[in-house]
């Protein structure tokens, strides 16, 4: 190989390495940047049993934006009383309630708007489901019969839905 060819090959390799180094990691492509960050944080606090982290940066169809994260140590999660979350999880265990949450996140905010949807039930049934979701903290009222998912519940709701995927 001539000197010029060798030099050209070296320049090509260096350019490829620099490009690979500067490329941002793609979400879901096997680069565990969030996991590595969590491990570093856990090491700093001496959490030998580890922990979990969920996070999200969300823009809803309504234009609302939510940036949120939450972490918990494994020790506390395993030692906690899991029966305390049954009402919250049970509220999500009905297809109509999940549909109501999706529609509310999409911009329908009143019972009257929700009642216009097909296959959602009577007004009485809708109010029953809205009460269940409100009691469990997945919804709150903002006045004049308007409902919304609290900002602190938007990302957790989407995390639960993601975790429940088959």
CATH code of 122's domain: 1.10.10.10
Q: Could you tell me the CA-to-CA distances from 23 to 18, 19, 28, 29, 115 in Å, in that order?
A: 9, 6, 15, 13, 48
Structural domain count, the chain:
1
Task: Please give the full DSSP string across 25-82, using - where no structure is assigned.
Answer: PPTTSS--HHHHHHHHHHHHHT-TT-EEEEEEEEE-TTS-EEEEEEEEEHHHHHHS-G
Residue 129 contacts residue 96 (beta carbons within 8 Å): yes
Q: Mean of the pLDDT values across residues 152-156?
A: 97
Asked whether residue 127 carries a pLDDT value surpassing 70, the answer given is yes
Element (DSSP H or E) covering residue 141: strand 140-143
pLDDT 10s digits, 38-83: 999 999 999 999 999 999 999 999 999 999 999 999 999 999 999 9
Asked whether residue 14 carries a pLDDT value surpassing 80, the answer given is no
- Domain that residue 74 falls in: 3-163
How far is Cα of residue 45 from the mean position of the Cα atoms in its chain? 25
Cα separation, 33 vs 37, whole angstroms: 6
Quote the pTM value. 0.79
User: Given this model, what pLDDT does residue 64 score?
Assistant: 96
User: Given this model, what pLDDT does residue 4 score?
Assistant: 72
Q: Could you tell me the CA-to-CA distances from 5 to 14, 15, 17 in Å, in that order?
A: 14, 15, 18
User: Given this model, what pLDDT does residue 2 score?
Assistant: 73
Residue 105 contacts residue 149 (beta carbons within 8 Å): yes
Would you mind telling me the total number of residues written for the chain in this entry?
A: 166
Residue 103 contacts residue 112 (beta carbons within 8 Å): no
Asked whether residue 159 carries a pLDDT value surpassing 80, the answer given is yes
């Amino acid at each position: 190989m001539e000197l010029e060819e060798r030099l050209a090959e070296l320049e090509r390799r260096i350019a490829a390495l620099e490009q690979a180094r500067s490329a941002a990691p793609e979400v879901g492509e096997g680069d565990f940047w969030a996991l590595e960050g969590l491990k570093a944080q856990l090491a700093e606090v001496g959490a030998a049993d580890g922990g979990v982290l969920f996070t999200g940066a969300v823009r809803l169809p309504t234009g609302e934006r939510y940036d949120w994260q939450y972490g918990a140590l494994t020790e506390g999660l395993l030692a906690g009383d899991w029966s305390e979350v049954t009402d919250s999880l049970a509220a999500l265990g009905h297809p109509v309630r999940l549909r109501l949450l999706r529609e509310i996140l999409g911009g329908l905010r009143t019972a009257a708007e929700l009642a216009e949807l097909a296959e959602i039930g009577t007004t009485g049934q809708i109010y029953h489901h809205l009460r269940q979701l409100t009691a469990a903290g997945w919804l709150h009222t903002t006045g004049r019969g308007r409902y919304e998912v609290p900002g602190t519940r938007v990302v957790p709701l989407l995390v639960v839905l993601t975790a429940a995927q088959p």
